[in-house]
Structure 1
Amino acid sequence: MATSAAVQTSGRAGMSGAEARLACRSGAIPGSTAGVADGYVQANLAVFPESLADDFRRFAARNPKACPVIGESRPGSRAIPDLGLDLDLATDVPAYRVWRDGAVVAERAEVADLWRDDLVAFAIGCSFSFEAAMAEAGLPLRHVEMGVRVPMYRTTIPCAPAGPFAGPMVVSMRPLTPAQAIRAVEITGRYPAVHGAPVHLARSDLIGIADLGKPDYGDPVRIGPDEIPVFWACGVTPQSVIAAARPAFAITHAPGCMLVTDRLNADFAVDLAPASAMA
């Protein structure tokens, strides 16, 4: 099953962002978007009533590693034109989670009938966006190889609070050899708008993860004897925070099931000056 899923996903790597959204809208991509539409920015989704939008905006600004906002809708709108012209926030994510009072009450393929005039959607940068650069450099992506969702974990790393929003950072994990991890730091550090460089290496117990084989979100992946776990801040963090803040209503993407945009990963890359140039 995992192998066939990996092959199927690899065949979608050449899609454009618009083609990927149409495939999600039609149900042709019902699950993880890892490895889909290589080169195009993917985004996590967090949708709140307008009464909470200012607080979440402040929360995101105070926690840019975990919640780098790359787009925001107008109240009631299902579009973010800067991210794609033919983009429907209520139908173009493969799977959505519906939250009431801090608990998931449904997981659905679309949420058009739940969209309200007061809802504000935040698109948050996703680490899938820098994975194309990692793959191009020859670094392995175990969850893509296995055809499963990237493993994600709640940590003991606290987020800076804002209004009702507070809670622990969520991280995604990719196993790499130490040499590969150093290269991954260099590569992903060029993408601060999609989480940037890792926040932790190796000792998972130091950030409150008791068992790497039991992720809080996503699926476990194989870790080789010569590999260490490498952790990046994750855009699923708002879901951990929603569970703690318990807003009356919210909508998010299901972990691993992202909004594919028309923006290019290259648009978000920055050039980092070498240490010698900064001396």
Structure 2
Amino acid sequence: MLTKEEVRDLNIFSAEVRKATIHALSVVGGGHIGGAMSMVEVLAVLYNKVMRIDPDHPRMDERDRFVLSKGHAGPSLYATLALRGYFPLDALTTLNQGGTILPSHADRNKTPGIDFSTGSLGQGISMAAGSALGARFMKKTYNTYCIVGDGECDEGQVWEAVLAAAQHKLNNLVVFVDYNKQQLDGTIDEICRLGDLRAKFEQFDWYAQEVDGHDVSAIYEAICRAQAQQERPSVIVLHTVKGQGCEYALAQKLCHHMSIPNDIAAVECARLDEQIAALKGA
């Protein structure tokens, strides 16, 4: 269980990630803000309390692997990596520009700390299953963690990977579904209803949980339960809000990809600064 101080620090880190992400997107003019904002808390927990990583040695052999299957949400992952020391924070202002190390979708050949290039939806979870299976074959101790989008779960390849992971009993694999209930051009229910995702994964013989995806304590405890069981791959369905932490995005009907004017970004960053100050003073 996390202490009160650890919860506070993770919430501060989450606010810092949101602030850095909003600023970076405003510099380039806009981007995939909705899904980048909704997965911030799980990134904070993974990169600060769970994964075995070394920012000074990003290719360390026994590091835990992370796959952002919804690769278009890279900006908040980049902010997380920068805040953890993989590269300077000012690199974030080069997002998706010529010569950048931070392309719009995650690219392992360009960005320190990125283990897998992603963006073609449905493929990342297959890579994650392959990573977990490879660790077993090579007798390595690392775990693989993967974030999948809810809209991405429309892809048949996702469920092929889910079947394969269960067949091989990949207990070193933890998948998170960012269940923010929206995709590019509508709600999940309007486009392709997913129903009870936890029950679906259970039917595929996964160890399945669902939690509030913006509650760092709930996320951490769910990961601990996932790691404690050794029989099956694990999934944690994160109930999230698309655009969480950015009032400008939340006010839009859909915020999958949108422009972020500089003046709006300044207001949002100032609000997050107030939130950070209040957390530090608590």
- Using structure 2 for the length normalisation, give the TM-score: 0.26
Q: Whose helix proportion is higher, 1 or 2? A: 2
